[in-house]
Amino acid sequence: MKTNILRIGSALAAMLVAAPALAQDLTFWSWRQEDRAAYEQFIETFEAANPGITVNFETFEATNYNTILSTALAGGTGPDVMMVRAYGGLENVASAGYLEPLSTETIPALADFSEASLAAESMRSDGTIYAVPFASQTQLVIYNKALFDQHGISEPESWEELEAASQKLLDAGVIPFANGTATAWQNETVTFGLGSSLMGKDFYDELMAGTADFTDERFTGALAEIADLAAKYFPDGFIGLDYPSAQQLFGSGMAGMFVGGSYEIATFKNMNPDIEVGVFAAPGQTAEDEKLVGLYFDGGYAANAAGANKEAALTFLNYLASQEFGQAFADTLSNISTVPGVTFQDPLLAEVNELNQSSIPYLMLAHFRYGEPSGSVLIQGEMQKLFAGETTPEAIGEALTTGLAAWYEPFQN
């Protein structure tokens, strides 16, 4: 009896000692502090299916995340698995060799992901994929359904109808658009949230092919229309209105429309649970023009190339690329998952996903943030000038093209 107790005791003790060596601990870094509860749920599901692997979820402040992550990776104290940004933000980290290259061999599910989503998480130079993309965001127009119904307005089919709808709201004493442009990055959002259909797919294709640049009339014409609309239907003094104030104007029901990303929908619902919002793609000049939204990918999940538990990290990445995870991600976080085959129960989410089917990439982020000056910095400053009446659309086209020529080869002749 005594020996049995001793034996069992020593066996237990041995297990306790050996347990840390058997279990694989992964650290997982993210900038989504607000999604902590949801991620802990996802991780629980994963751990239940993969005994022996534990994942510790750690979050950091979003605006400094890149700096924190880069510093940690450079110092060799980086996490095993991490959220990384897309496009230029990804290249910053990936080009230094900190991330484990991924392929359809290590993550088979990647084969079915859309090309655009994978491109967002690849190096442009060799096309190597470094992360499993997690969500797309859409730049469009969000509107207050109750206000639209109350004033007998339906989703506009042409630019003229958009102006008519705005005028109707203005006449009724409602601010038509809540947007303000004192916060620099909002200028880019407004430009491509409103202007993608005006610019059109052909312009985008030619720009990418190098046969058109920003002096193109389709681009400058769109800017002129946007500036005109803003002058008439954005709030008084909108050039001095910052981003949080603009959100408040729409969230509180004082304004009818908000040009912004699909990520705003959740914000507005948090701000005002009673608000009922709808979405539409800002129309082109005529009703026949294809309605396009600006589409981009937020970021992805990557593994540390120097991580101690690389095998477990890849197992976890495979889970993050699975349809099971994509579905849970879409259902709990109300985000458009990039995993193919995910269905959206929330009708609004389903609608955004539907709109995504005809889109052009959110231009400056997807293609012009790889050098200095970045297209985003240029368009933001130039649009602020345009809204303040200190430049013209033609001059902006010129400034963008010559400015980007500093590093963007197709413009260098």
Partner 1 sequence: MREGPPSSSARAKRIFMPQLRMTGRGLWITVLIVPPLAFVALFIVYPIISAFAYAFFDWQGLRRGAFVGLENFHTVLFVEPYRSWTLNAFKNNVLVFFALMVLQNGLGFVLAYALWRELPGARFHRIAVFLPVVLSTIIVAYLFKLFLHPLFGVVNISLRGLGLGELAQPWLGQSNTALWSLIVAQAWHMVGFPTLVFLAGMQRIPSEMLDAVRMETQSEWVKITKIVWPLVAPSATIVFTLLFVGAFNWFELPYIMAGLDGSPFGSTDVLGLYFYRTAFGNVSAGQQNFGLGSALAVLIFIFIALVATVITVRLRAREIQL
- 126 belongs to the binding site for partner 1 (CB under 8 A): no
Is 87 among the residues that bind partner 1 (CB under 8 A)?
yes
Q: Is residue 81 within 8 Å of residue 301, measured between CB atoms?
A: yes
Position 237 contacts partner 1 (CB under 8 A) = yes
Q: How far is the CB of 46 from partner 1 (least distance, A)?
A: 30
Cis peptide, bond prior to residue 20, ω within 30 of zero? no
Joined together, the tokens standing for residue 140 give 């469009």
Q: Is 409 in the site for partner 1 (CB under 8 A)?
A: no
Of 123, 182, 224, 395, the one binding partner 1 by CB under 8 A: 182
Rounded least distance, CB 381 to partner 1, Å: 4
Using CB under 8 A, pick the residue from 160, 242, 346, 354 that binds partner 1: 242
User: If binding is defined by CB under 8 A, does position 231 make contact with partner 1?
Assistant: no
Decide: is 317 part of the binding site for partner 1 (CB under 8 A).
no
Binder among 80, 91, 100, 225 for partner 1 (CB under 8 A) = 91
Residues 6+ apart with CB under 8 A from 94: 84, 123, 128, 130, 302
Q: DSSP alpha helices (H): ranges in 152-263?
A: 159-171, 184-209, 217-233, 243-251
Distance CA 179, CA 190 (A): 8
Q: Is 395 in the site for partner 1 (CB under 8 A)?
A: no
Between 201 and 369, whose beta carbon lies closer to partner 1?
A: 369
- Check binding of 73 to partner 1 (CB under 8 A): yes
> Two tokens at 10?
């020593």
On the 0-12 / 13-18 / 19+ scale of CB atoms within 10 A, 273 is: exposed
Q: Are the beta carbons of 151 and 174 closer than 8 angstroms?
A: yes
Q: What is the DSSP string of 342-395?
A: ----SHHHHHHHHHTTSEEE-HHHHHS-SSSS-HHHHHHHHHHHHHTTSS-HHH
Given the complex with partner 1, which of 66 and 267 has the nearer CB atom?
A: 66
Amino acid, res. 311: E
406 in contact with partner 1 (CB under 8 A): yes
Q: Does 239 bind partner 1 (CB under 8 A)?
A: yes
Sketch the per residue contact string, 14 through 43, with partner 1: x for CB under 8 A, - otherwise: ------------------------------
**Segment interacting with partner 1 (CB under 8 A) among 7-15, 109-117, 241-249, 267-275:** 241-249
Of 88-96, 132-140, 224-232, 337-345, the segment contacting partner 1 by CB under 8 A is 88-96
Residue 365 Cβ vs partner 1, minimum distance, rounded to whole Å: 8
Backbone φ and ψ for 326, nearest 5 degrees, come out as -55, -45
Shortest distance, position 395 Cβ to partner 1, whole Å? 13
By DSSP bridging, strand 359-361 and strand 293-303 are: parallel
User: Three-class SS of residue 146?
Assistant: helix
Tokens of 297: 């990918």
266: which 2 tokens? 């959740």
Instruction: Please select the residue that binds partner 1; options are 6, 12, 13, 74, rule is CB under 8 A.
Output: 74
123 touches partner 1 by CB under 8 A: no
129 with 255: CB under 8 angstroms?
Answer: no
Residue 388 interacting with partner 1 (CB under 8 A): yes
Among 63, 357, 412, 413, binds partner 1 (CB under 8 A): 63
Point out which residues bind partner 1 (CB under 8 A): 63, 66-67, 70-71, 73-74, 85, 87-89, 91-93, 95-97, 180-185, 188, 235-242, 245, 249, 369-374, 376-377, 380-382, 384-385, 388, 390, 403, 406
